[in-house]
Amino acid sequence: MSVQDVKFYQTGTFTVGNRLLLETERAVQANMRRTNSLNSGHRACQGCGEALGARYAIDAAMYATGNRVMAANATGCLEVFSTPYPETSWQIPWIHSLFGNAAAVASGMAAAMRVKGRKDVRVIAQGGDGGTTDIGFGCLSGMFERNDDVLYICYDNEAYMNTGVQRSSATPPAARTATTMAVGKHPGNVFGTGKNVPLIAMAHHIPFVATASVANLHDLEDKVTRAMAIEGARYIHIHVPCPLGWGSAPADTIKVARMAVESGLFPVFEAEYGEITARQTIRRRVPVEEYLKLQRRFAHLFGKTPDLVTIAHIQATADRNIRVFGLAP
């Protein structure tokens, strides 16, 4: 009898179709009883990667805990578009305190649950890259090093979008923002700056660190689900394109996110106790130009005379990621 390989993804997109999977392996979002943790009617922009990532992440967390989850949210787009009173979109207990303290507030919530013997209730902190990698970094590191029972989710759209697209320490080199203007000899954000918070999180030797992308929502759900089964400090860093800030088409959010992964610019991996345990290898590698060209924040690289030196510099970053994180198939 001849054997035929079953392809679990559709041609071209690499997206696994739910109908081909066992029910237990299907996406949380495919479930009829999905909770819509971040309900419709909120005020995010068209094509918002953060709204998409947040709904999938928190839905998965609700599913994994039997809806026993509460969240602390940093100031930022997610906080503003989801909640102006009395129009909250959140279906879970949710608190916004300040820009820089979401991790600490979550630590307090976890402490309250611990002291009250509510082991069933789990706590999530979430924020954008500004609230995570910059202003909230001290509280984040504190929560990590104490190994507090909190899952921190960073929705990384690579700049301060809520205040009007200013540079953060997650803004990539050459990107135009309101504070790294596309003018002068070296337009856009400077090279050799920024920080990799997933790697810094790993340096705290916490039980679980992962990166994820809205281009692979099943993987995102899976990581959140597994994170909710772990006690202690956990960190998931989700790459979420921002059409407004990046100057990409709202319809291209998933495409842009996928290009970031497939170019090697956003490595998708996971780590336990400081050691990388899995990575998403790149099945169809694309040159960085394909990713950059979709976004007006890099338009200054592609004028009449393309800035080949800068593009090569960015390509070298992608190549290095592929080498360092072992992303080649």
Q: Which of 113, 151, 261, 314 binds another protein (CB under 8 A)?
A: 113
Could you give the CA distance from residue 209 to residue 267 in angstroms, rounded to a whole number?
A: 13
Could you give the CA distance from residue 159 to residue 257 in angstroms, rounded to a whole number?
A: 15
* Binders in 144-183 for another protein, by CB under 8 A: 145-146
Does 107 participate in binding another protein (rule CB under 8 A)?
yes
Does 92 participate in binding another protein (rule CB under 8 A)?
yes
- Total of residues contacting another protein (CB under 8 A): 42
Identity of the amino acid at 254: I
Does 104 participate in binding another protein (rule CB under 8 A)?
yes
Pairing of strands 122-128, 69-73: parallel
Does 259 participate in binding another protein (rule CB under 8 A)?
no
CB of 226 to another protein, least distance (A): 21
Does 17 participate in binding another protein (rule CB under 8 A)?
no
| Token pair 């200054």 in the structure block, residue | 300
Nearer to another protein, 72 or 214 (CB): 72
Q: Which of 57, 69, 215, 288 binds another protein (CB under 8 A)?
A: 69
Could you give the CA distance from residue 134 to residue 319 in angstroms, rounded to a whole number?
A: 26
Q: Which of 15, 91, 169, 225 binds another protein (CB under 8 A)?
A: 91
Does 39 participate in binding another protein (rule CB under 8 A)?
no
User: What stretches of the chain show up as alpha helix (H) in DSSP?
Assistant: 49-65, 77-82, 102-115, 129, 137-145, 197-203, 217-228, 243-246, 253-263, 288-292, 308-325
Stretch in the footprint of another protein (CB under 8 A) among 4-12, 114-122, 126-134, 272-280 = 114-122
User: What stretches of 116-240 show up as alpha helix (H) in DSSP?
Assistant: 129, 137-145, 197-203, 217-228
Is the Cβ–Cβ distance between 288 and 263 less than 8 Å? yes
Does 141 participate in binding another protein (rule CB under 8 A)?
yes
Q: Is the dihedral of CA 82, 157, 200, 216 positive or negative?
A: positive
Least Cα distance to 231 among 113, 134, 312 occurs for 113
Question: What would the two tokens of residue 23 be?
Answer: 């029910």
Nearer to another protein, 106 or 314 (CB): 106
* Binders in 208-237 for another protein, by CB under 8 A: none
Q: Which of 15, 88, 169, 317 binds another protein (CB under 8 A)?
A: 88
Q: Which residues of 109-142 are buried (b: 16+ CB within 10 A; e: fewer)?
A: bbeebeeeeeeebbbbbbbbbbbbbbbbbebbbe
CB of 19 to another protein, least distance (A): 33
Does 105 participate in binding another protein (rule CB under 8 A)?
yes
Could you give the CA distance from residue 101 to residue 104 in angstroms, rounded to a whole number?
A: 5
Nearer to another protein, 162 or 315 (CB): 162
Does 84 participate in binding another protein (rule CB under 8 A)?
yes
Q: Which of 63, 90, 208, 269 binds another protein (CB under 8 A)?
A: 90
CB of 93 to another protein, least distance (A): 4
Nearer to another protein, 142 or 274 (CB): 142
Stretch in the footprint of another protein (CB under 8 A) among 65-73, 174-182, 227-235, 243-251 = 65-73
| Token pair 């997109």 in the structure block, residue | 13
Does 205 participate in binding another protein (rule CB under 8 A)?
no
Is the Cβ–Cβ distance between 60 and 238 less than 8 Å? no
Q: Which residues bind another protein (CB under 8 A)?
A: 67-70, 72, 79-80, 83-85, 88, 90-98, 100-101, 104-116, 121, 138-139, 141-142, 145-146
